[in-house]
């Protein structure tokens, strides 16, 4: 299962676990998503064999593909930085080109335990990979956070003792505008600018359409909502929040321990920026 926008992958899994994950995907972006409540702002690529330690992007973007209104397109810029580290680290990737808007990051686990995470977007979101279990244990993101102003380092959080290999490269980043229907409602996918009025949704009978953000991700309690065409008027089905009906997700304790073990690299003290020389005339 792959999302071209979320850039996440899971390995083959038993049919029961796969059905659970598909149901969870359908409820992502709604109050019925347990994963959204537990890991609202982090997406994790993990090996899923026998347990539903699922690898999901916790946003409605998991239902759509690149090219939708509000999606982001990136193109690589400049040279690639390649490093191998153990535990959390700050990776010097050089000065960002003037047109850079993101960092492309490829991480491969070299250990068989622990987790590696990187910041994405404006830093309020993140992506990670579990190094445990079977599978390739690789992470690919195209929306890595740019280094902070005045710096050239990219932070990689990791469990202590977890060894990993990474390739990083700057990229241009262009986010398309949300579309607007005749009612004046915006529709598209959530991005660094926030959320549109209508976000992607799937009806109970499997039809893809649009749901009001205020009735799903913005609602306090789960419920049944209409799924519309992009006009915000034509109802094509209904989406029922899965709270209380989805089978429990038996998260592997090892997976939970990995999440809890991740630590961020120490941030070096800021280097004072010298003040420009005064141009005021000397007093007499």
pLDDT tier for residue 249 given thresholds of 50, 70 and 90: very low
Q: Look at residue 274 in the predicted model and tell me its pLDDT.
A: 53
pLDDT for position 217: 75
pLDDT reported for residue 107: 96
More confident position, 142 or 183: 183
Q: How sure is the predictor about 252, in pLDDT bands with cuts at 50, 70 and 90?
A: low
Mean pLDDT, range 14-34, rounded to an integer: 37
pLDDT of the residue at 94: 96
Query: Whose structure tokens read 């998991």?
Result: 62
User: What's the whole-number mean pLDDT along residues 190-213?
Assistant: 90
Q: Which of 22-31, 108-117, 214-223, 268-277 has the highest mean pLDDT?
A: 108-117
Element of type H or E holding 210:
strand 208-212
pLDDT tens digits for range 120-173: 888 888 888 989 877 779 999 988 999 998 899 999 999 999 999 999 999 998
Q: Which pLDDT score is estimated for 88?
A: 96
User: Would you state the pLDDT for residue 275?
Assistant: 54
Separation CA 67–CA 248 (nearest Å): 34
User: What is the token pair recorded at 110?
Assistant: 């070299």
SS3 of residue 29 by DSSP: coil
Q: Report residue 49: phi and psi, to 5°.
A: -135, 110
Beta-sheet pairing, 235-240 with 224-228: antiparallel
**Residue 183 · residue 232 · CB < 8 Å:** yes
Q: What is the pLDDT confidence band of residue 223, given thresholds at 50, 70 and 90?
A: confident
Which of 3-7, 166-170, 262-266 shows the lowest per-residue confidence on average (mean pLDDT)? 3-7
Higher pLDDT among residues 33 and 134, named by residue = 134
Point out which residues pair with 175 in neighbouring strands. 72
Residue, of 10 and 284, whose pLDDT is higher: 284
């Amino acid at each position: 299962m792959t999302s071209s926008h979320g850039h996440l992958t899971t390995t083959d899994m038993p049919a029961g676990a796969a059905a659970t994950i598909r149901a969870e995907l359908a409820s992502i972006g709604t109050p019925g998503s347990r994963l959204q409540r537990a890991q609202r702002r982090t997406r994790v690529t993990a090996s899923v064999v026998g347990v539903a330690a699922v690898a999901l992007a916790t946003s409605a973007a998991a239902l759509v593909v690149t090219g939708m209104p509000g999606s982001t397109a990136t193109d690589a810029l400049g040279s690639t930085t390649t490093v191998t580290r153990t535990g959390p680290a700050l990776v010097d990737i050089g000065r960002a080109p003037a047109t850079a808007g993101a960092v492309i990051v490829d991480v491969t686990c070299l250990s068989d335990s622990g987790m590696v995470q990187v910041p994405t977007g404006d830093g309020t979101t993140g992506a990670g990979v579990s190094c445990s279990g079977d599978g390739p244990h690789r992470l690919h993101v195209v929306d890595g956070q740019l280094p902070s102003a005045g710096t050239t380092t990219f932070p990689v959080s990791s469990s202590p003792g977890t060894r990993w290999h990474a390739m990083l490269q700057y990229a241009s980043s262009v986010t398309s505008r949300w579309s607007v229907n005749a009612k004046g409602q915006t529709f598209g996918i959530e991005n660094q600018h926030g959320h549109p009025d209508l976000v992607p949704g799937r009806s109970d009978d499997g039809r893809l359409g649009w749901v009001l953000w205020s009735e799903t991700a913005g609602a306090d309690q789960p419920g049944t909502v209409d799924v519309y065409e992009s006009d915000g008027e034509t109802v094509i089905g209904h989406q029922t929040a899965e709270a209380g009906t989805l089978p429990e997700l038996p998260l592997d304790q090892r997976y939970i321990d990995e999440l809890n073990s991740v630590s961020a690299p120490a941030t070096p003290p800021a280097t004072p920026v010298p003040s420009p020389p005064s141009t005021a005339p000397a007093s007499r």
